[in-house]
Structure 1
Amino acid sequence: MKEEILELDEFLTLRKKIPLLDARSEGEFLQSHIPGAINVPILNDAERQSVGTIYKQEGSDNAVLKGFELVGPRFHSIIKKALELFPDKKILVYCWRGGMRSEIMSWLLSLSGFKVYRLKGGYKAYRTKTFVTVRQNHKYLVLGGKTGVGKTRLLKRLREREEHIIDLEGLANHKGSSFGGIGMESQPSVEQFENLIAEELFQIPSEDIIWIENESRRIGKVILPKELYDTLSNAPMIEIERSKDQRIELIIDEYGALPKEELLSAVNRLRKKLGGLNTSQCIQAIENNQPTIWITLLLYYYDKAYEFDLEKNHTSQRIRFDMSTSLLETEIDQLLEFKTNFQWKI
C-alpha cells in the first residue's frame, strides 16, 4: 500500500484519529517528541551513532548499507510490534528530517498492509513550528499573588468555565519552589516543555485572551523562553490577596500530607536562604507534625522573594483583588467581569 507524504498541518490534524509513530532512537524520543507519539526505533542510540560516524567518514552509500545491515534482522520484530500497537493498520510516521528512517519504516509497514502517512520535514518541521509558536505575542492575563493564594485552583476553575488557560506548572510537572517537585512525575526536557506549551496554544485562536499564572523564568529544571517570559512580565497582572491564615490553610491542604523525608530535604535545600535558626525550627516542626509553624516560617522567606521578583521583573499594570472573604465561584465571576471590561492597549 503506497504511503502519503503530508505537510505538517495536515499531519497534525490527522493525529486526532490516527496513531503516531516516532521512528527515531530512544534517546531522541526521550529528549523531545510530538506529544502522543509512540516510539518504535528503526535504529537505537548506539546504532544511530555508528551510522552517523560512517556517514561522516565514508559517505552516504556506506551509511545506508550499514543502516540496513543493522535494522534488517529486526524487520520481523518491528512489524510484529507495530501490529500489536496499531491493529487498525493506519499510522502516521516521522523521524528527524523525514528522511531515511521514516522512509524505511514506511516501506516496511506498507509491505505489511499498513496505510502510512509520513511527515514531510519530520520532527524538525514540527519543532520549528513549536519554537515559533511559544515566542509569538498573545493576550495574556496573568494571575499573581504570594505563595498560597490559590492561583492554580483559580486557573482550573476558569478552565471549567471554558476559559482559555495555560497551566505552566502542570506542563512542567513542578510547582516552582524547592517543594515543587514532591509527588510529581519527572519533568520534561526544556524542548519538550516548549512543545507542550505550543500544543496548548495551537488550540487557542490568536486573538483570544489566555489566563496564565505568574511564574519565575525557571520552574524546577525547565526554563521559560525569554520571549514568552518577557511577554508575561509586561502583561496585565491580577494580584490575588488573601489573609496569611487562609494561605497557610491552602498550603496545608496541598503540602501538609507529603512525606516527611521529602519535606525535610526541601527545607535543607533552602538552608542558606532561610538561615540556620529558621531551618532548624522548620525541621523540628515538620518532625513534630506542626505544619502551621513550618509553613509560617517559610512564608517569611517566600514573601520576600516574591516582592523582590515582582519589583524587578513585572513591569506591567498590577490590579489587586482582595479575595479574603469571597467564595470560589464569586472569585471566578470577579475575574471574568474584569476580563470583559479590561481595555487592551493596542
Structure 2
Amino acid sequence: ERAIVGTKYKQESRDTAIAKALEYIAEKTDHYLDELHKLVPSQEICIYCWRGGFRSEGMGHLFQTAGKKIYRLVGGYKAYRNYVLDSFNTEYKLIVIGGMTGSGKTEILGEIGKTNKQMLDLEGIANHKGSAFGALGQADQPTTQQFENDLATQLTKFDPQKNIWLEDESRMIGRVKIPDDLFSQIRTATVIKVEVSKKNRISRLIKDYANFDKEDLINSITNISRRLGGLNTKLAIEAIEAEDYYIATDIILDYYDKTYTYGLEKREGQTVISLKLESNNAEINAEKVIEFVKRN
C-alpha cells in the first residue's frame, strides 16, 4: 500500500495519492476505530508513518472524525531516527564514574541524580546491569533501536554545557549497544574510579543477588565459564549450591577485577583519577564524589 501510494504521488499528483490512501483506510475503517478505542482511551494521540506522509495524514483525518486530537510526527519515523542519531553527535561534558564490580557505582549515581545534577542511567534505560548477572530481576531489554530512541529522549532533556554524570560501561549492555558516537565520548571522558574494599564489594553483591533463584545464578555463572575457567566455575557453582555466597562472589570477582583492570589499562588518552571510599553509604559516597570533582 505504501509503495502504491508513493508511486501515485511521484507519477500522478498529491491529490490522487491522498485519495488512494483514503481508499485503503475506508476499507478498514471499522477495524481501525475499534482498535483505536482499545489502545488509546485518551483524547490526544500522536501518529506517524515511515515518512510522515499520506498514510498518517489519512489516519489522522479518520481519528479526528472519531473525536481525537491528533498530532502527527513531522517527517515520520525516518526523520525521527535521523534526529535520534544526530543527537549522539552533540559534544557533551561527561563525568564517568568507574570502579570494579560491586563498588556501588549505580547507587552513587542514583544519589547524584537526587541532587538535581544531570545523571544518565544507561543501565536503567537498557534494563540490564551490565554483567553476566545483569538481567536478573530486570524487565526484558529493549531492542538496540528502542534503546537509542530512549537514550536520545533523555539526552535532549540535558544542557550539554553542564556536566552529565554516568557510569563507565562496556560498548554492549546486555544485548543492546551504546551508539558509537556517544561511546567514543565516554571513552575519552575523565573517569573517577571509586575504590572500595573487596570485602565491602562482596557484601554489596551478596545483598543484591543472593535472593535470586539458585538456578538463575548458576546459569549466569555457566555463561562465563570459558572465561572463569573450569575449576573456578565448578567451585563457584558448588558454593552457590551450598549457599556460600561469599566464596562464590569472591571467585567471580577475581575474574571481573582482572578484566576491568586490563580494560582500563588498555585505554589511551583517557584520564583516570582514583578516589578511595570507606563507607558503604551511597549518599555519603555521592557527596564525596561530587566534592572530589569540584576540587579536581
Letter in 2 for 1:224: I
Q: Pick from 205, 220, 225 the counterpart of residue 179 of structure 2.
A: 225
Q: Take 1:325 and 1:112, find their aligned partners in 2: how far apart are those partners?
A: 59
Q: Which residue of 2 aligns with 1:136?
A: 90
Q: Please, what TM-score do these two structures have when normalized by structure 1?
A: 0.77
- Structure 2 partner of 1:162: 116
Matching residue of 1:99: 53
1:180 aligns with 2:106: no
Between stretches 213-222 and 111-120, larger displacement belongs to: 111-120
Q: Which of 246, 249, 252 lines up with 2:206 in the alignment?
A: 252
Q: Secondary structure at the match of 2:151?
A: helix
Give the superposition deviation at 1:64.
8.1
Partner Cα separation in structure 2 for residue 130 and residue 112 of structure 1: 32
- 1:125 to 1:324, Cα distance in 2 relative to 1, 3 A: same
C-alpha separation in 1, matches of 2:110 and 2:283: 12
Structure-to-structure mapping, 1:50-65, within 5 angstroms: 51=1
**Which of 171, 182, 185 lines up with 2:125 in the alignment?**
171
Residues 218, 295 of structure 1: CA spacing in aligned structure 2 closer, same or farther, 3 A cutoff? same
**Corresponding residue SS for 1:79:** helix
Match of 1:110 among 59, 64, 69: 64
1:99, distance to aligned residue in structure 2 (A): 1.0
Selected match of 2:159 from 191, 205, 222: 205
Contact 1:83/1:89 (<8 A) preserved: no
Q: Distance in 2 between matches of 1:271 and 1:107?
A: 57
- Answer with 283-292 or 144-153: which moved more: 283-292
- Could you say which residue in structure 2 is the equivalent of 1:89? 43
Q: How many angstroms does 1:115 deviate by?
A: 2.9
Q: Which has the higher contact order (CA 8 A, sep 6+)?
A: 2
Question: Structure 1 residues 257 and 314 mapped into 2: Cα distance closer, same or farther (>3 Å)?
Answer: farther
Kept after mapping to 1: 8 A contact 2:96/2:191: yes
Please show how residues 266-281 of structure 1 align to structure 2 within 5 Å.
266-281=220-235
Code of the residue aligned with 2:91 in structure 1: it is N
Deviations 1:153-183 (A, max 9, x none): 0011111111111111111111111111122
Q: Which residue of 216, 224, 231 corresponds with 2:170?
A: 216
Deviations 1:64-107 (A, max 9, x none): 88866765343123223334554553332211110122112111
Q: How many residues align?
A: 292
Q: Secondary structure at the match of 2:102?
A: coil
SS in 1 for 2:139: coil
Q: Does 1:146 align with 2:110?
A: no
Instruction: Return the offset for 1:296.
Output: 0.4
Is contact 2:17–2:54 with CA below 8 Å preserved after alignment?
no
Decide whether the 8 Å contact of 1:164 with 1:210 is kept in 2: yes
CA 1:252–1:83 in 2, change beyond 3 Å: closer, same or farther?
same
Question: Structure 1 residues 329, 65: CA separation in 2 closer, same or farther (over 3 Å shift)?
Answer: closer
Aligned twin of 1:334: 288
Which deviates more from structure 2 when the two are superposed, residues 116-125 or residues 293-302? 116-125
Query: Cα–Cα, structure 1 residues 263 and 87, in superposed 2: closer, same or farther, change >3 Å?
Result: closer
Structure 1 spans left out of the alignment, 5+ residues: 1-50
Alignment partners' CA distance in 2, 1:224 and 1:277: 33
Query: Is 1:283 aligned with 2:283?
Result: no
Deviation at 1:249, TM superposition (A): 0.5
Deviates more, 1:84-93 or 1:187-196: 84-93
Deviations 1:238-265 (A, max 9, x none): 1011111100011011111111111111
Q: Which moved more, 1:324-333 or 1:266-275?
A: 324-333
Amino acid at match of 1:307: T
Which whole-Å deviations, capped at 9, do the CAs of 1:212-246 have from their partners, x for residues lacking one?
00001111111112221111111111101111110
Is structure 2 residue 197 aligned with structure 1 residue 243? Answer: yes
3-state SS of 2:28 partner: helix
2:278 counterpart (312, 321, 324): 324
CA distance in 2, matches of 1:327, 1:87: 44
Note if 1:234 corresponds to 2:188: yes
Please give the secondary structure, in 2, of the residue aligned with 1:97: coil
Q: Which amino acid aligns with 1:161?
A: T
What is the RMSD computed on CA atoms of the aligned residues? 2.5
Q: How far off its partner does 1:57 sit?
A: 9.9
What are the Cα deviations for residues 6-46 of structure 1, in whole angstroms up to 9, with x where unaligned? Answer: xxxxxxxxxxxxxxxxxxxxxxxxxxxxxxxxxxxxxxxxx
CA distance change for structure 1 residues 182 and 81 in 2, over 3 Å: closer, same or farther?
same
Q: Could you list the runs of 5+ residues in structure 2 that have no partner in the other structure?
A: none
Contact map agreement 1:134 1:194 (CA 8 A) in 2: no
The sequence identity of aligned pairs, in percent, is 37
